[in-house]
Amino acid sequence: MRIAIASDHAGFQLKEALRERLSSAGHDVADFGTYSEERCDYPDNAKPAASAVNEGEASVGLLVCGSGIGMCIAANRFPNVRAAVLQNEYDAEMSRRHNDANVACLGARTMDADRAQKLLEIFLNTPFEGGRHEARVKKLAGLP
């Protein structure tokens, strides 16, 4: 699976840990930065990663900042992106199962790498349920 990843300075260490784990698991990881803990603005790195998902160049995205919230807001500016902040197993599963989320947003200040990895695995391995949820997800594409 091709996964677009990005972080800001607060999420750099967690992004790096997850990038290594994803690569080791055989995923094709496209890293859109940041590449250090030097202060940067999260929209600058969220934009190219979310764009890759939006354009179909990546199957899913992973964005990491301090809380996950800023990256999520930035990613959801793209019409084909459905980003969700994952704080627990339920969020990870249901964002995929009912909302067909294609970008996982994690907070480096809210969890450690093992917890983040667990949530990401649930996210990546949970299929979209479709059915009654499909019409709802299709309506999202028509929103301004």
Residues known to be catalytic? 65, 98
The alpha-helical segments, DSSP class H, found in 59-130 are 69-75, 89-97, 113-125
| Contact assessment for residue 126 and residue 91, using Cβ atoms and an 8 Å cutoff | no
The whole-angstrom separation of Cα 77 and Cα 108 is: 22
Question: Residue type at 11?
Answer: G
Q: What are the C-alpha distances in Å from 90 to residues 1, 14, 15, 87, 133?
A: 23, 21, 21, 8, 17
Question: Residue type at 114?
Answer: D
| Contact assessment for residue 7 and residue 64, using Cβ atoms and an 8 Å cutoff | yes
Quote the tokens at residue 133.
Answer: 């949820």
